[in-house]
Chains A and B, each alone.
Chain A
Amino acid sequence: MQKDKFFRDIENVRHRNEELVKTHCSYCGMQCGMNLRVDKSTNKIIGVEPRYDWPVTLGKMCPKGVTAYQQTNHDDRILKPLIRDDASLKGTKEGFREASWDEAYDLIAKKFGELQEDYGKDSLSVFSGVSMTNEKCYLTGKFARVAMGTRYIDYNGRFCMSSAAGGFLRSFGVDRGSTLPWTDVHQTDCLFIAGSNTAECHPTSMFRVWAVQERGGYLIVADPRETPVARRADVHLDLRPGTDLALANGILNLLIQNGYADESFVNQHTNGFEETKELVKDFTPEYTSMITGVAVEKIERAAEIYGKAPNAIVMFARGVEQQHKGVDNVSAYTNMALVTGKIGRPKAGVATFTGQGNGQGGREHGQKSDLLPGYQKITNPEAVERVSKVWGIEPEEMPKPGVSAYEMFELMDNKTIRGLYLLCSNPAVSAPNLNFVRGALKKLDFMVCGDFFLSESAEYADVILPSVSWSEDEGTTTNLEGRIIKINKAQEPIGESKPDWLMQVELAERLGKGKHFSHLKTAKDVAEEFRLASKGGVADYYGATWDKIDEQDGVFWPCTDKEDKGTPHMFLDKQFYHPDGKAKICALPYRPPAEEPSEKYPLRLTTGRVVYHYLSGNQTRRIKFLNDMCPDPYVEVHPITAAEYDIEHDEVVLLYTLRGKANYKVKITEAIREDTVFVPYHFGDLESINLLTIAALDPISKMPEYKACAAQIDKIKVAGKVL
């Protein structure tokens, strides 16, 4: 076990007649260790106990983790399959009736069959998510391609991690979210954190972040808002939303001009330096300041600190990634580490804060429109051959690449896609430009949704299949470090709910594809097949057996065979994954956000999270403690801007963009730029900020630009009355 200075040897409290089941949180990429308390007489989960010996988080949890267990036996759980016969009720909670699994399966098989008969194989689609185990993610990809035989599968990582993936692939040739383990974070000398509200989104990183400052190290934070982590930063780069690329280029320019480039590292281990050096020359501190709105001195100070730091880690998150140049932003911030050679050794490197619990693993194993398990390209004939063999199909039967998540809604809208199997995701809240997306869901001829709570998206379904919560099944996830960990089962599924992998096996049998699925009787069976399918890929999990994960407190991929202990630190041999072994320093011209403020829409709208909610809020809005803390969305406005609009704290205003509108309560705070407003995105129906956001997609990652668009506020209160 890896023990660092925070480790304490602490016994757990064991109450009488209780068992502790060690596992991890169901929510974010931190995947905090926890013990679920199980009552031995009822065999039900009744509470949580810290897992002090989990080396990453040492028993710490945010309020979502503490209350996560309340999902399992929640009154809102769906206990039986539901069918809705009256399609005119789509988009509402009404009209569902309970049904047997047989009836539900039969109906799905019949409808899927009819659609494919009439409109071809690719009239069906799968939209999935990464808040589930690797085993489920893996089987979902296989199910789409083998059982449904469609090319159209994609997942909610396109709204979350795909820009980080695209940037890392371009810079390093490999997409592992962190080049080092989290136990390095507090030991570095400088953290450069861009577009991450770490304190609210990955709270259990915070004791390590503060520890850097306690040791005399530095914290630099780039964020339009003074979030709790920015509040204590040595330098807060308070940039305009959507201008990260200019900031990163500006800092890189200063690093090069001031002699912080590591020439021998650059020469031996990278390509692209000269070209990039030329390009960033234009990004003088003054020019950078003009674009970003950050003071010249702050930009200079940040570059000086990062340049001087013996070791430093560049970290970022959705703030830089959810832009229509998200991939460029990732590569541009990564340039800082490559040019200065602060990578490929302990305590120095690059990391993204993975959003979803299995955001890392879930994007590696074949749910992405163009990927097969192990991060193998579906356009690579050798990979297709390898995986076809594991799946027992002919390589010719492998469907071609599909399209990205948002693009699937465009195909639903134009009726190319007519049927949908949605699982582990709630795009009716989380997709951008929701008026369009909700309309597209309504147009579907037939929709199936697997979920354990009736989400806003499930309201568009014809059939709802009750899946289990994370605590009623086992499997692995891959946390934000790239560490494969084990989720354990603490309780039997409630009602008639089933794990998604089991539904897929049973449904495959109805679809006449049983011979490729029927041998999978347990989650472990899926795990064994999945390890094999990933073998030979970049994200090779073959050596990551469940036993090894238990023995070692997780296994960092790549892990190729039995003897291999895994790879906590990437690139220690300075070998990157491009064919010539070198990393790529990228010359990236600046582009402004797709929609810049105008006379009619003078404000910059940005969106994000609060600590009490996870993603679309389908889970956390049902947990009393969390919902009491944050029951409604709000719009954060700077007091000077509020005065201009003559609006007050707690007043309800109309916020709108070219695409949509919604009413929000005003929250006045000086902790935001005057030209920017912020709304959290966890809320459904008429409260969804994604009614307003723009679907400008990154050309590589197809990530929508959630983080910047142009908006306007109208006052609706006159003489103390809401109109």
Chain B
Amino acid sequence: MTTTTTTRRKLYMELENCIGCRACLAACTQCGGHEQKNRNYVYDVNPLVNSQTMPLMCLHCVDPACARSCPAQAIQIHETGAVLSATVDKCIGCQNCTIACPYGIPKFDEEENLMYKCDLCIDRTKDDIPPMCASVCPSNTLQWLTEDEIADKKQATDVGNDKWVTSMPYLEGETHVTVNLPGVLQGTVKLF
């Protein structure tokens, strides 16, 4: 067996790897408690031009605007840092969170009168099992990595421009998810 590290893993994204297969959306619907509704999204970056796509999912803000905007304290933060979907009996259906989130992540289910959002597959990630999206992503756009592995990634690809993004000032606030914007190969030295 390979060594299992005790460090908790985090979601890490390399947007440029994305091939637009939307397996992450299909997988999201499969997670226990997600009721067949995907909570992540994939966008065409340059429609009519090329096939570049990118996933958009909750970044699990350290100080989440969604939770702050909620008058009913329905959006709870798990000890792992995951910002959970609204608690059913608390959510009053005001939809503040859908406006407050700078990335447009929380969605509203009109029928249930309930907000729903990515909970980072909490029934998996609470035990350090990768969320469904990162489990299946065929291109390694979505990865579940230890802090050390993320540090290595940063060292390999951060060449001091704006394309390595972990936190302020590039995002709206500090997040638990690390995002590597287009430029994953910018630090690569060719073999020959």
Contacts from A to B (Cβ < 8 Å): 3, 7-13, 15, 47-48, 50, 52, 59-63, 65-67, 189, 199-200, 203-207, 210-211, 213-218, 226-229, 231-232, 308-310, 611-612, 625-626, 629, 639, 649, 668-671
A258 to B16, CA, bound (A): 35
A-B contact count (CB 8 A): 135
Known contacts A199-B139, A206-B138, A226-B50: A10-B19 contact under CB 8 Å: no
Binds A, one of B57-65, B68-76, B122-130: B122-130
Q: Chain A residues near B124: list those with CB within 8 A.
A: 13
Q: Chain B residues near A205: list those with CB within 8 A.
A: 138
Binds A, one of B22-30, B83-91, B109-117: B22-30
Binding site of B, secondary structure by majority: helix, strand, loop or mixed?
loop
Q: Chain B residues near A52: list those with CB within 8 A.
A: 135
Q: Chain B residues near A3: list those with CB within 8 A.
A: 2
User: B50 and A670: CB pair below 8 A?
Assistant: yes
User: B30 and A48: CB pair below 8 A?
Assistant: yes
User: B136 and A61: CB pair below 8 A?
Assistant: yes
User: A66 and B139: CB pair below 8 A?
Assistant: no
Contacts from B to A (Cβ < 8 Å): 1-4, 16-17, 19-23, 25-27, 29-30, 32, 48-53, 123-124, 127, 129-130, 132, 135-140, 184-185, 188-192
User: A66 and B192: CB pair below 8 A?
Assistant: no
Q: Contacts A8-B2, A13-B124 given; 16 further ones with Cβ under 8 A?
A: A7-B2, A9-B3, A59-B136, A62-B23, A62-B138, A63-B22, A67-B26, A200-B19, A203-B19, A203-B138, A206-B138, A228-B51, A625-B25, A625-B29, A629-B22, A649-B48
User: B20 and A50: CB pair below 8 A?
Assistant: no
User: B138 and A670: CB pair below 8 A?
Assistant: no
Q: Chain A residues near B48: list those with CB within 8 A.
A: 639, 649, 668-670
Q: Which single member of B4, B23, B127, B191 contacts A66 (CB below 8 Å)?
A: B23
Known contacts A11-B129, A59-B135, A60-B137: A669-B23 contact under CB 8 Å: no
A61 to B2, CA, bound (A): 22
Q: Which single member of A61, A216, A226 contacts B189 (CB below 8 Å)?
A: A216
Q: Chain B residues near A12: list those with CB within 8 A.
A: 129
Q: Chain A residues near B2: list those with CB within 8 A.
A: 3, 7-9
A612 to B135, CA, bound (A): 18
Q: What is the CB-to-nearest-CB distance from B51 to chain A, in angstroms, rounded to a whole number?
A: 5
Chain A's closest residue to B121 (CB) is: A13
Q: Chain B residues near A204: list those with CB within 8 A.
A: 138
Q: Chain B residues near A231: list those with CB within 8 A.
A: 50-52
Chain A's closest residue to B42 (CB) is: A629
Q: What is the CB-to-nearest-CB distance from A189 to chain B, in angstroms, rounded to a whole number?
A: 6
Q: Chain B residues near A67: list those with CB within 8 A.
A: 26
Q: Chain B residues near A207: list those with CB within 8 A.
A: 17, 138-140
List the 9 closest A-B pairs by CB distance, nearest first.
A199-B19, A203-B138, A63-B26, A66-B26, A216-B191, A207-B140, A228-B19, A206-B139, A50-B135
Most chain A CB atoms below 10 A, which of B49, B136, B184: B136
Q: What is the CB-to-nearest-CB distance from A645 to chain B, in angstroms, rounded to a whole number?
A: 16
A60 to B135, CA, bound (A): 6
Chain B's closest residue to A208 (CB) is: B140
A207 to B140, CA, bound (A): 5
User: A213 and B4: CB pair below 8 A?
Assistant: no
Chain B's closest residue to A211 (CB) is: B140
User: B192 and A308: CB pair below 8 A?
Assistant: yes
Known contacts A203-B21, A214-B184: A670-B4 contact under CB 8 Å: no
Q: Chain A residues near B140: list those with CB within 8 A.
A: 206-207, 210-211
User: B188 and A62: CB pair below 8 A?
Assistant: no
Chain B's closest residue to A308 (CB) is: B192
Chain B's closest residue to A58 (CB) is: B135
A203 to B53, CA, bound (A): 14
User: B4 and A13: CB pair below 8 A?
Assistant: no
Q: Chain B residues near A61: list those with CB within 8 A.
A: 23, 27, 136, 138
User: B139 and A309: CB pair below 8 A?
Assistant: no
Q: What is the CB-to-nearest-CB distance from B29 to chain A, in angstroms, rounded to a whole number?
A: 7
User: B49 and A671: CB pair below 8 A?
Assistant: yes
Q: Chain A residues near B53: list those with CB within 8 A.
A: 228
Q: Chain A residues near B30: list those with CB within 8 A.
A: 47-48, 66
| Selected A-B contacts with CB under 8 Å, 18 pairs | A12-B129, A13-B124, A60-B138, A65-B136, A66-B27, A189-B191, A199-B19, A199-B139, A203-B138, A210-B140, A226-B50, A231-B50, A231-B52, A308-B192, A629-B22, A649-B48, A669-B50, A671-B51
A625 to B28, CA, bound (A): 12
A231 to B184, CA, bound (A): 14
Q: What is the CB-to-nearest-CB distance from A5 to chain B, in angstroms, rounded to a whole number?
A: 10
Q: Which single member of B16, B32, B49, B192 contacts A309 (CB below 8 Å)?
A: B192
Q: What is the CB-to-nearest-CB distance from A308 to chain B, in angstroms, rounded to a whole number?
A: 5
Chain B's closest residue to A309 (CB) is: B192
User: A10 and B130: CB pair below 8 A?
Assistant: yes
A13 to B129, CA, bound (A): 8
A249 to B29, CA, bound (A): 48
User: A199 and B21: CB pair below 8 A?
Assistant: yes
Chain A's closest residue to B27 (CB) is: A66
A228 to B130, CA, bound (A): 25
Most chain B CB atoms below 10 A, which of A66, A205, A308: A66
Q: What is the CB-to-nearest-CB distance from B10 to chain A, in angstroms, rounded to a whole number?
A: 14
Q: Which single member of A9, A50, A309, A625 contacts B1 (CB below 8 Å)?
A: A9
Q: What is the CB-to-nearest-CB distance from B188 to chain A, in angstroms, rounded to a whole number?
A: 5
Q: Chain A residues near B123: list those with CB within 8 A.
A: 13
Q: Chain B residues near A47: list those with CB within 8 A.
A: 30
Q: Chain B residues near A649: list those with CB within 8 A.
A: 48
A13 to B128, CA, bound (A): 11
Q: What is the CB-to-nearest-CB distance from B151 to chain A, in angstroms, rounded to a whole number?
A: 16
Most chain A CB atoms below 10 A, which of B23, B185, B189: B23
A7 to B124, CA, bound (A): 18
A221 to B26, CA, bound (A): 28
Q: Chain B residues near A211: list those with CB within 8 A.
A: 140
User: A210 and B27: CB pair below 8 A?
Assistant: no
A59 to B142, CA, bound (A): 13
Q: What is the CB-to-nearest-CB distance from A212 to chain B, in angstroms, rounded to a whole number?
A: 9
A3 to B3, CA, bound (A): 12
Chain A's closest residue to B48 (CB) is: A668
A548 to B21, CA, bound (A): 34
Known contacts A62-B138, A189-B191, A200-B19: A213-B50 contact under CB 8 Å: no
Chain A's closest residue to B140 (CB) is: A207
Q: Chain A residues near B129: list those with CB within 8 A.
A: 10-13
Q: Chain B residues near A671: list those with CB within 8 A.
A: 49-51
Most chain B CB atoms below 10 A, which of A205, A206, A612: A206
Q: What is the CB-to-nearest-CB distance from B137 to chain A, in angstroms, rounded to a whole number?
A: 7
Q: Chain B residues near A228: list those with CB within 8 A.
A: 19-20, 51-53
Known contacts A206-B139, A670-B50: A213-B26 contact under CB 8 Å: no
Chain B's closest residue to A215 (CB) is: B191
A216 to B189, CA, bound (A): 5
Q: Chain A residues near B23: list those with CB within 8 A.
A: 60-63, 65-66, 203
User: B19 and A229: CB pair below 8 A?
Assistant: yes
Q: Chain B residues near A626: list those with CB within 8 A.
A: 26
User: A213 and B139: CB pair below 8 A?
Assistant: no
Q: Which single member of B21, B51, B184, B190 contacts A227 (CB below 8 Å)?
A: B51
User: A189 and B32: CB pair below 8 A?
Assistant: no
Q: Chain A residues near B139: list those with CB within 8 A.
A: 199, 203, 206-207, 210
A583 to B123, CA, bound (A): 54
A231 to B17, CA, bound (A): 10
Chain B's closest residue to A189 (CB) is: B191
